[in-house]
Amino acid sequence: MSAMIIDAFSWALLMAGSLLMVVGALGLIRMPDFYTRMHAAGITDTLGADLILLGLMVQAGFSLVTVKLLLIGAFLFFTSPTSTHAIANAALTAGLKPQVGGADAEDGAAEKEDE
Amino acid sequence: MSVESFIDITLLVFLGLTAFAILKLRALFAVVMLSSVFSLLSAGLLVHLDAVDVAFTEAAVGAGISTVLMLATLALTSRREKAPTRTQALPLIVVFLTGMALVYGTLDMPRFGDASAPVHNHVAPKYINDTASEIGMPNIVTAVLASYRGFDTLGEVTVIFTAGIGVLLLLGAYIREPTGLRVQTMDHHLVLRVVTKVLIGPILLFALYVQFHGDYGPGGGFQAGVIFAAAFIIYALVFGLENARKAVPGSAVRMLVACGVLLYGGVGVVSFAFGQNYLNYSVLGASQVAGQHLGILLVEFGVGLTVSAVMVSTFYAFAGQNPPISDEDW
């Protein structure tokens, strides 16, 4: 019985992580400009990957594998948001303007080409 | 189709697509990123082939540090590849014919996973049978790499040493040690500085773990050296080259480049002195197994020293060529 609860819990985490991965990938293709795409990509490797790791930890139980997964998760928890931040920051300092509002879409693209 | 072959085929298809994209793209930043993806995919493939040590090296060297070094190169050169001016018919024919010859050559090779293939019947059974008694190490790869095939690894380390010296000579890093430049602190990058400070310690610790745990699990001097260098490079990237040079001067790093190879070769000379063959570690300890353990530990340490020093000094040489970015430009 308890094995079934553990399985269900870990599957829920794995499915939630996978769902976020798919949503992030979809957003990466469908979003209109760079910053919104960054937003989508950030979901994949932060919450998506960490939820999947959490699901795997539940499967592994109290073992060395869990400790290793925990370390990987902690590493991702620090590095992924930082890299997203660094890329978005670099784009902003390079002069890429965020696209604001639907009508500005054409203007934003033209402005970027001017620079 | 089994799950195994499905994973293999998926990874190989992605490898092919990445290689094709690298060929077609002219934006070199994207090419560098794709080559990193290529390395990561091959690392995945190697894990799937149960070659974790090789996969580890591929991930650390190919996907990790070489990407950083290539980006540093791009900062010195152009961001776009020049479009070819002449027709490419002749190179295409040459490549096609070579490829066909190689494919024809593979027809003579044993089938994938064939138990009667020469590679499984030559020295591999001896290594698998005798490692436990002769070397006494759980990780046979390390035993083969550092002891049975110690000469090959000495050659590899010498190749890395020579390549590093070549890069330093080309970039003229041995003269240029600029002083008095304004120290870069990246004052505006609070997030990067904090996270880097948090991560450098664990990265160095992990490098030491990989270095000294290589006898028991996947790892060893090559991977550890690269990870160790990565910690220094991330420090130089975030806190500025001048600060990194203050922590580890370029002259010290260049000294370490030679020290690693010297240590490796020196272990061989010591085994000479005890009246044994070059790089036969059995005489170094009280028993054969103890001697092998000590020898492999020292030799792997030499590898790690040279690899990390070459990586750091190459990065110093590349980054030193760039004018420092003033704080206002960030």
> CB-based contact (8 Å) between B330 and chain A?
yes
Of residues B241 and B195, the one with the higher pLDDT is B195
Give the end of a domain, one of B59, B83, B108.
B108
Closest by CA position to A61, among listed A3, A16, A109: A3
- What's the domain count of chain B? 2
CATH number of the domain where residue B80 is located: 1.20.120.1200
Pair (B79, B205) in one structural domain:
no
Pair (B172, B50) in one structural domain:
no
pLDDT (tens digit per residue) in A67-90: 999 999 999 999 999 999 988 988
Pair (B32, B181) in one structural domain:
no
pLDDT more than 90, % of chain B: 45
Pair (B153, B264) in one structural domain:
yes
- ipTM of this predicted structure: 0.78
Question: What residues does B27 pair with on adjacent strands?
Answer: B80
Q: What is the pTM of this model?
A: 0.84
Pick from A70, A78, A87, A92 the residue to mutate for testing the B interface (most B CBs within 10 Å). A78
Classify residue B116 by its DSSP letter.
T
Residue type present at position A109:
A
In this prediction, residue B135 has a pLDDT band, given cuts at 50, 70 and 90, of confident
Tell me, rounded to whole angstroms, the distance of Cα A23 from its chain centroid: 9
Pair (B4, B151) in one structural domain:
no
H runs (alpha helix) in chain B = 3-24, 28-48, 52-57, 66-76, 89-106, 118-121, 124-134, 140-143, 150-171, 190-212, 221-239, 241-247, 250-273, 288-321
Closest by CA position to B139, among listed B14, B318, B296: B296
Residue of A nearest to B189 (CA): A86
Pair (B127, B17) in one structural domain:
no
| Secondary element (H or E) of residue A93 | helix A64-93
Give the end of a domain, one of B79, B108, B137.
B108
Residue B113 Cα, gap to closest chain A Cα (Å): 29
Pair (B140, B225) in one structural domain:
yes
Pair (B201, B75) in one structural domain:
no
pLDDT (tens digit per residue) in A59-68: 988 889 999 9
Q: Decide if A86 and B192 are in contact by the 8 Å CB cutoff.
A: yes
Residue of B nearest to A71 (CA): B202
DSSP characters over A29-61: HH-SSHHHHHHHHHHIIIIIHHHHHHHHHHHH-
A34-A40-A42 Cα angle (round to 5): 100
Pair (B177, B279) in one structural domain:
yes
Pair (B327, B287) in one structural domain:
yes
Residue A112's pLDDT is 47
Pair (B101, B240) in one structural domain:
no
Kindly state the tokens that stand for B214: 């290589």
Alpha-carbon distance values, B115 to A93, B71, B110, B286 (Å)? 58, 43, 9, 39
CB pairs under 8 A between A and B: 18
B10-B15-B20 Cα angle (round to 5): 125
Pick from B199, B203, B325 the residue to mutate for testing the A interface (most A CBs within 10 Å). B199
Q: Does residue A110 register a pLDDT over 90?
A: no
Stated length of chain A: 115
Nearest to B330 among A79, A85, A93 (CB): A93
pLDDT (tens digit per residue) in A35-55: 999 989 888 888 899 999 999
Residue B321's pLDDT is 76
**Domain boundaries, position B166:** 110-330
> CB-based contact (8 Å) between B4 and chain A?
no
Pair (B91, B240) in one structural domain:
no
Give the end of a domain, one of B91, B108, B125.
B108
Q: Does residue A103 register a pLDDT over 80?
A: no
